[in-house]
Amino acid sequence: MSATEHSSAVTITSLPSTPSVLSQLWPFLALLSLALALPLSGNDYWALIATRAAIYWVLVSGLNLIVGFAGQLAIGYVALLAIGAYTSSVLAAGNVLPPVPAFLALGAAGVVGAVFGVVVGLPALRLRTFYFAMTTLGFATIVTQIALAWQDVTGGGIGIAGPQLPAPLNTAWGFYFFCLAVAAVCTWITGNIARSRFGRALVAVRDAEVAAEASGISKPRLLVAVFILAGALSAIAGGLFASLQSYITPDAFTFDLSLLFFIAVLIGGRGSILGPLLGTIVLTLLPELAAPLAAWSTFLYAALLLVIVLAIPGGIAALLDVRSRRPLPDKRAILPKLAALEALIGRPKVSGVLSLRGVVLSFGGVRAIDGLDLDVRPAEVHGLIGPNGSGKTTTLNVISGFYTPDEGTVTLGQEALPAGVPESRIRRGIARTYQTPRLIGEASVLQNVMVGATVDGRASFLEALLSLPRHRRDEALMEKRAELALAAVGLGALAHVRADRLQHSELRFMEIARALMAHPAFLLLDEPAAGLSTGEIKRLGELVRAISRQGTGVLLVEHHADLIFDICDQVTVLNLGRILAGGTPAEIRVHREVVSAYLGS
């Protein structure tokens, strides 16, 4: 065994292993045990506080998918709490229709909340960050004003009685256990989503939206599904809140309450279920433990958020994640296992040649691509080189669907590829990497790679929500393929390490592994050798050649001329958006204009 291989073997034995199911579940089981033991206190006041925490968590569990996982700043979700509270109360009171049972009123509130969840969420498909946050706050104001003005139905400023549940749920502890059960179910279903391809897709949209689109993830469809779920849970929480309060008025749905929900997610930590759960409990208890400061609750929430952001940027979840703070060995070698490529890629169905004809793309008065004709054939490595600004990455973006050309066509075989629809490329067998690695830093390397197989999943959002058999089969298959992909590129030992702890060279290979998850017929590589050592560049070249031998056509944009000439079958040289030369590596090496403009003497 060589010194490098020995270093790698040592690394494998010292890296984090797969987290066990028990290690993931025990914090939730411990919290549930404490919650079940709470009646032993014999204090009905604690029943009230604990019930309130459980109800708040029903809402926050759904909001967490929007804020913590998808990264959308939805601040005004108290509006959906109010909608659920008034819907259930109005139906139970019979102010519009004949009175309905309390459980049916809660169910109806969930349906209404799902509808309004989409209404509140639709602006997120166009607006970002601060602007979307303002729309949610504006919606909350509208709901409050309607509740005040619609006196015949809502009681206006006087209010309306909340729905009363039947015995034994009409007692303090009976209602507490019911709300605890609902909260436990919400924890389970949102946890199922978080651990599914939909949860990974949400985080990919948050942290690497371009890579998410290239992996076939449709942001609008994904967010609509999550808004429906979060809206339904928020409205159900509203119905339970109305029962707890016994009587509700618009004054009950304050900005402070909305802030509590939002801050609970932030101090809990992004991409976590346990962290926001603990954050909700802490923020519910805080005003009770500091009763004299209750009037300062907004200040307390803001101060706590500031402390968390400055001291623990990752929130409570990062504080609890001990595994991610274990040191990694400094000397790690990337040793691809090329034999794994056959099982990983198989033989892609050859769909013909990937062709560009007469492509023109201008940015203002500058022509980034000027009449480009290019053919990338299956089982070949085609190099695309040229000076900075010559249009290489722009060409990849046109093929990937991120840019719409002013003129010309992009075809795969006889099929024209639609422009401006990047999520459609992966289904046609076109995958890619980027100049700057697009990673989900807070997810593991394995989860990053599994994102590449998102479109292969067959289970629906509902099946993932309930963890049905087809969803579990999808997950098992994706995980097995991701492990195979990591082994193929030489990162198998790093599967359970957080991606933001990897070295730059390892991120390059991780991106290739993610792209290989799609069984690509064509693989677009954008400067994959940038920042790699001489030995790593050599192994990268061997990996790219091995990928092409599986039948995959590779379009390689690269500044390392030696790598291009060593592994490419064809080379195209661009200059100012036009083809300067094209041919075999041997022909390009001696082309006078290429040597003068790019290669130098």
- Sign of the CA dihedral with 237 first, then 239, 245, and 248 last: positive
Query: In the prediction, which pLDDT does 348 show?
Result: 60
Helix, coil or strand: residue 215 = coil
Rounded mean pLDDT, 489-509: 92
Of 324, 354, 380, the position where a domain reaches its end is 324
pLDDT, one tens digit per residue, over 52-78 is: 999 999 999 999 999 999 999 888 899
Residues 475, 197: contact at Cβ < 8 Å? Answer: yes
Reported confidence tier of residue 18, pLDDT bands at 50, 70, 90: low
Specify the pLDDT at position 297. 67
pLDDT band at 329 (very low <50, low <70, confident <90, very high): confident
Helix (H) or strand (E) holding 582: strand 578-583
The pLDDT value recorded for residue 2 is 40
Q: Which residues pair with 524 in a beta bridge?
A: 432, 555
Amino acid, res. 339: A
What number is the average pLDDT over the span 180-208?
Answer: 95
Per-residue pLDDT for 14 more than 70?
no
Domain boundary among 292, 324, 356: 324
C-alpha span between 575 and 143 (Å, rounded):
58
For residue range 135-158, what is the model confidence (pLDDT) as tens digits? 888 888 899 999 888 888 888 888
User: Is the model's pLDDT at 596 over the cut of 90?
Assistant: no
Same domain, 370 and 234: no
Which strand (E) or helix (H) includes residue 579?
strand 578-583
CA distances from 147 to 79, 83, 152, 157 (A): 11, 9, 10, 8
- Please state whether the peptide bond connecting residue 168 to the residue before it is cis, i.e. omega within 30 degrees of 0: yes
**438 and 483 assigned to the same domain:** yes
Residue 341 to residue 553: CA distance in whole angstroms: 14
Residue 246: count other Cβ atoms within 10 Å of its Cβ.
10
Q: Judge if 252 and 149 occupy the same domain.
A: yes
First to last CA, the chain: 41
Q: Give the residue from 594, 547, 550 showing the smallest Cα distance to 567.
A: 547
Q: Is the pLDDT of residue 47 over 80?
A: yes
Contact call for residues 16 and 141 (beta carbons, < 8 A): no
- Is residue 302 scored above 80 in pLDDT? no
Domain containing residue 230: CATH number: 1.10.3470
Per-residue pLDDT band at 600 (split at 50, 70, 90): low
Whether the Cβ atoms of residue 425 and residue 434 lie closer than 8 Å to each other = no
Q: Which of 440, 449, 452, 356 is nearest to 403 (CA)?
A: 356
pLDDT band at 598 (very low <50, low <70, confident <90, very high): low
273 and 25 Cβ atoms separated by less than 8 Å: no
Tens digit of each residue's pLDDT (9 = 90 or more) over 341-385:
989 987 665 568 999 999 999 988 888 999 999 999 999 999 999
Is residue 258 domain-shared with residue 351, that is, in the same domain?
no
Give pLDDT, residue 12.
Answer: 41
Q: Are residues 425 and 548 in the same domain?
A: yes
Question: What single-letter DSSP state applies at residue 498?
Answer: B
pLDDT of residue 95: 84
Confidence of residue 17 (pLDDT cuts 50, 70, 90): low
> What mean pLDDT is predicted for residues 121-128?
78
Question: Which CATH number belongs to the domain containing residue 345 in this structure?
Answer: 3.40.50.300
Residue 238 within any structural domain of the chain: yes
Q: Where are the beta strands (DSSP E) in 401-482?
A: 407-412, 415-416, 430-432
pLDDT digits (tens, 9 = 90+) for 451-494: 999 999 999 999 999 999 999 999 999 999 999 999 999 999 99
Least confident of 1-15, 85-99, 403-417: 1-15
The torsion angles phi and psi of 212, rounded to 5 degrees, stand at -65, -45
Number of domains in the chain: 2
Are both 356 and 458 inside the same structural domain?
Answer: yes
Q: If you search the block for the tokens 């040289």, which residue do you land on?
A: 573
Alpha carbon distance 281, 285 (integer Å)? 6
Cα-Cα-Cα-Cα dihedral sign, residues 201, 207, 212, 213: positive
Whether pLDDT at 291 is above 70: no
Query: CB count, 10 Å around CB of 100?
Result: 18
* 426 and 573 belong to one structural domain: yes
Q: What is the mean pLDDT of the chain?
A: 88
Predicted confidence band of residue 3 (pLDDT cuts 50, 70, 90): very low
- Specify the pLDDT at position 221: 92
Residues 578, 548 share a domain: yes
| Position 19 pLDDT exceeds 90 | no
Q: What token pair was written down for 382? A: 């085609």
Q: How many residues does the chain have?
A: 601
Does the residue 290 lie in any domain? yes
Name the nearest CA neighbour of 226 among 112, 122, 86, 140: 122
Residue 547 inside a domain? The answer is yes
Structure confidence at residue 4 (pLDDT): 38
The CA–CA distances, whole Å, from 80 to 166, 239, 265, 404, 506 equal 25, 10, 17, 39, 44
The verdict on residue 487 lying in a domain is yes
Domain extent, residue 436, equals: 340-599
- Above 90 in pLDDT, residue 450? yes
Domain boundary among 280, 299, 324: 324
Is pLDDT above 50 for 405? yes
Establish if 128 belongs to a structural domain: yes
Q: Is the dihedral of CA 304, 305, 310, 313 positive or negative?
A: positive
The pLDDT assigned to 406 comes to: 92
> What is the structure's pLDDT at 8?
38
Residue 597 has pLDDT above 70, yes or no: no
More reliable by pLDDT, 323 or 562: 562
Structural domain includes residue 202 = yes
Residue % of the chain over a pLDDT of 90? 58
pLDDT of residue 299: 75
286 and 393 both lie in a single domain: no
Same domain, 311 and 358: no
In a domain, 559, yes or no: yes
- Say if CB 65 and CB 194 are below 8 A apart: yes
Backbone torsions φ then ψ of 376, nearest 5 degrees: -115, 120
Buried b (16+ CB within 10 A) or exposed e, 448-462: bbbbbbbbbbebebe
Are both 47 and 186 inside the same structural domain?
yes
Q: What percent of the chain has pLDDT over 70?
A: 93
Q: Which amino acid is at 341?
A: L
Comparing 343-347, 500-504, 508-512, 545-549, the range with the smallest average pLDDT is 343-347
Determine the pLDDT at residue 33. Answer: 92
Task: Indicate whether 308 and 375 sit together in one domain.
Answer: no
Q: Which of 552, 402, 448 lies closest to 393, judged by CA?
A: 402
Structural domain contains residue 335? no
Amino acid at the residue 246: S
